[in-house]
Amino acid sequence: MKVIIAGGGRTAAHLAGLLLEQGHSVRVIEPRPEVVSRLHAELPTEVIIEGHPTDPDILAEAGPGDADVLAACMPEDADNLMLCYLARTQYGVGRTIAWITNPKHAWLFDPAQKLFHVDVALNQADIAARLLEEEMSLGDMMILLKLQRGRYALVEEKLIAEAPAVGQALRELDMPAHATVTAVIRDGEMLLPRGDTVLAAGDEVLALVAQEDQEALARLFGGKAEAKAKAEAAKPPAA
């Protein structure tokens, strides 16, 4: 692919490096001299264009006519909206991704509205809040990969002895409707999950689960928070 990244902040520069490692063609446009200087220390000189990406001449230098993706990562929301609009209407770029700095402006980026031809909007405040919420609600369950824009996730949890799933065969588990165990790692070896596979303490269980069933799956696999609550509930009342 050919990808144009407007903005050379830390996130954008890291993205550019990853794309280059994967063999993609990348152009990074950045107007701030101090940031450009840092970019030259991190990226090949030929991928860096100094100037403001909303300047038609600067944007044209990046060759948007044959770009597959434009990622608008400027610190100003107005610039990112304008870049997505120009990329689609003037150059026919197939996919536009925009970074939202101010959550109050999120409605302008809504892909369903098609106001500025933003295909994917990334709200940094919303992303951070959701990650914190997931960490608090899922206990020790780790999200390895998100699919279908977050509708599904590949998760992993190491079972402790108190987990409700320990000692049960997979066919006996009261699994949520939209969840399935995809692998069990025991003593460094991967077991293909079968109905008669009995889970044991220390197993690392990988599962594919829908967003609405993640908490139910976390309770079944019994993170530390759930086990602690269960232990507290089992204590006899104080005299």
Residue 26 tokens, joined: 């990348």
User: 2-123 — its CATH code?
Assistant: 3.40.50.720
Q: What is the pLDDT of residue 133?
A: 62
Query: Measured between alpha carbons, how far is 113 from 111 in angstroms, rounded to an integer?
Result: 5
Tell me the three state secondary structure of residue 199.
Answer: coil
Comparing 137 with 62, which gets the higher pLDDT? 62
Residue 143 tokens, joined: 């999200």
Tell me what the mean pLDDT of segment 104-130 comes to: 85
Whether the per-residue pLDDT at 147 is higher than 70: the answer is yes
pTM (two decimals): 0.61
Residue type (1 letter), 47: V
Whether the per-residue pLDDT at 56 is higher than 70: the answer is yes
> Residues near 46 by Cβ (< 8 Å), separated by ≥ 6?
none
Of 13-27, 82-96, 100-114, 142-156, where does mean pLDDT reach its minimum? 142-156
Query: Measured between alpha carbons, how far is 96 from 122 in angstroms, rounded to an integer?
Result: 11
Give the whole-number percent of the chain exceeding pLDDT 70.
87
Maximum Cα–Cα distance across the chain: 80
Q: For residue 26, what pLDDT band results from cuts at 50, 70 and 90? A: very high
The CATH 3.40.50.720 portion of the chain extends over: 2-123
CATH top-level class of 133-234: alpha beta
The CATH 3.30.70.1450 portion of the chain extends over: 133-234
Q: Which of 75, 98, 71 is nearest to 15 (CA)?
A: 71
Tell me what the mean pLDDT of segment 212-235 comes to: 66
Q: What is the pLDDT of residue 173?
A: 93
Q: For residue 148, what pLDDT band results from cuts at 50, 70 and 90? A: confident
Would you call 219 exposed, middle or buried from its count of C-beta atoms within 10 A (0-12, 13-18, 19+)? buried
Whether the per-residue pLDDT at 124 is higher than 80: the answer is no
Query: Measured between alpha carbons, how far is 65 from 25 in angstroms, rounded to an integer?
Result: 14
